[in-house]
Amino acid sequence: MVVVTKKSLMGKRLVDIWISGFIMNIYSFIKRGGFNA
């Protein structure tokens, strides 16, 4: 039970990191001019 919980928490953390990285990529893209370029 503890192992499963630890695994799911780790997975959630990885997803949070991936989402934040994805948002940062979009933000930097818009900052460079984005679709207006």
Count the residues in the chain.
37
pLDDT digits (tens, 9 = 90+) for 1-37: 566 678 888 888 999 999 999 999 999 988 888 666 5
Task: Fill in the amino acid letter for 10.
Answer: M
Tell me, what's the pLDDT at 1? 55
Q: Which residues of 12-26 are buried (b: 16+ CB within 10 A; e: fewer)?
A: eeeeeeeeeeeeeee
